[in-house]
Structure 1
């Protein structure tokens, strides 16, 4: 499993940790930080009751919407 989230960590703390990783990634552009961020994001989804498959499906559905918006100049 890719998830790196500590399941005992409160959800609010997990959100803050993810925000900190986003900030770190913005500064460093590190592939290691990106992988850690992705892992923690998936872990957050699992913490709130989503399976990896549900997270992936939601990503692809939203990606289609984003591409439609870009093509329409949104």
Structure 2
């Protein structure tokens, strides 16, 4: 037969470890969420940079077409 004191200590330790496991799982989820934030921000920044580059290229192209292809007034 098991010693009642030993059984009680084992049960208490098991409960402590379960609680610790729950806290660590929560902490890990928080760390993963925080780690994902910069990756999301980086993707947004990349998209915005690409969009801005496209707009600049379009503006430059339109400006060049207007400058080069407009008839010059007679002097």
Larger Rg: 2
Confirm or deny a common fold (TM above 0.5).
no
TM-score norm. by structure 1 comes to: 0.31
Query: Which structure's relative contact order is higher, taking Cα pairs within 8 Å and 6+ residues apart?
Result: 1
* Larger helix percent: 2
